Amino acid sequence: MKDIDEIFLNFSPGSLVLLNAILAIVMFSIALDLRGRDFLALAKAPKPLLTGLTSQFIVLPVLTYVMIVVLEPRASIAMGLILVAACPGGNISNFITHRAGGNTALSVSMTAFATAGAILLTPLNIAFWGSLYPPTREILTKTSIDPVQIAITVTLMLILPLAIGIWLNSKKPEFTARIRRPMQLLSMAIFIAFIVLALAANWSFFLNYAWMVAGLVFIHNALALGGGYTMARLLGLSEFDRRAVTIETGIQNSGLGLVLIFGFFGGLGGMAVVAAFWGIWHAVTGLALANFLSRKVARQ
């Protein structure tokens, strides 16, 4: 069995374009829940939003770096953990927050703002934290990472469909009301189907190497959820808002991570397995947490 740092997954250019398109559809479906006035309301009371963004783009990368220094995983695995931590909130965080009885409007807004912030903060976090750990610094020196190209990728894949969805919801509310639910269900079904097919194409590789990242992903996801909750509690947010911040920090956009891995790192094995495993595991823990919190609300 080859070293995981030397393995590259099978992922054609056509598949990458398809994944870009799927993520654009997912972001468009999220934007159908947003209007311009939602952002104005948050501007008047920005503390929960700023707490969530700080938790995502500062607290989680710091916790990730500390974890890597302590546990010293293989270089490509460490780089995968750093990249996932640098991504904005995941596409299913809004659904899970709603199920958990949290502030769904805050969750949707955090996803929107984090996605916009990812243009600058995602490549910055990848470059900064990756350069601090010697094994990942070596990967970065061998990789041609163009921050401008990453920003263009994020803009076309995430920001543009987000802007179109918000505009359409503001101008054609009756139309968006009809398509909102079907679009959200369709986009998630397509996204899940694509990830399943992508894993199937590399199934033997995934089975051979997933055990190397499983424990690290479990710890990393627990740190994300715990870091989000602790940050929200320390800053005195309500239980309603704490749930949104916790879930938004613990649900990362692993789809974007895969796009960046295949687009800029050549599908490097350890990175790809981390992102793929994250995509499965954060959904499991997110739904389990939502089920627990919803029962807590019902008892109260």
- Write the DSSP assignment of 12-47 as a string of letters: -HHHHHHHHHHHHHHHHHHHTT--HHHHHHHHHS-H
What integer best gives the mean pLDDT of the chain?
A: 82
**What does the pLDDT read at residue 210?**
73
Amino acid at 35: R
Distance CA 228, CA 58 (A): 11
Residue with tokens 């109260």: 300
Whether 31 contacts 161, CB under 8 Å: yes
pLDDT band at 92 (very low <50, low <70, confident <90, very high): confident
Q: For residue 139, what are its two tokens?
A: 């990967």
pLDDT band with cut points at 50, 70 and 90 for residue 81: very high
For the stretch 1-12, pLDDT in tens is 556 665 555 555
d(CA 151, CA 120): 7
In whole angstroms, give the CA distance from residue 114 to residue 23.
15
What is the Cα–Cα distance from 23 to 256, expressed in whole angstroms?
A: 8
Please name every residue paired with 89 in a beta bridge, in sequence order, or none if there are none.
252
**Pair 75, 136: CB distance under 8 Å:** yes
Q: Where are the beta strands (DSSP E) in the chain?
A: none
Under 8 Å between Cβ of 256 and 121: no
> Which structural domains are found in the chain, ordered by start?
4-292 (1.20.1530.20)
Residue 156 DSSP one-character state? I
How do the residues of the chain divide into helix, strand and coil, expressed in percent and rounded to 5?
85, 0, 15
At 131 the pLDDT is 93
pLDDT band of residue 150 (cuts 50, 70, 90) is: confident
Give the pLDDT confidence of 153-186 residue by residue, as tens digits.
777 777 788 788 888 888 888 888 888 888 877 8
* 232-258 mean pLDDT: 90
Residue 90: which of 294, 279, 273 has the closest Cα?
279
* Among 1-5, 186-190, 208-212, 234-238, the range of highest mean pLDDT: 234-238
Least confidently predicted of 14-18, 159-163, 275-279: 14-18
Query: Cα(23)–Cα(92) distance, rounded to whole angstroms?
Result: 12
Q: Which burial class, exposed, middle or buried, applies to 299 when counting CB atoms under 10 A from its CB (0-12, 13-18, 19+)?
A: exposed
Q: Cα-flanking dihedrals φ and ψ of residue 43, to 5°?
A: -65, -30
Is the CB of residue 286 less than 8 Å from the CB of residue 253?
no
Residue with tokens 């938790």: 55
Cβ neighbours of 177 (radius 10 Å): 11
How far apart CA 162 and CA 52 sit, in angstroms, is 19
**DSSP-based three-state secondary structure for 32:** coil
Q: Specify the 3-state DSSP secondary structure of 267.
A: coil
**pLDDT at 272 > cutoff 80:** yes
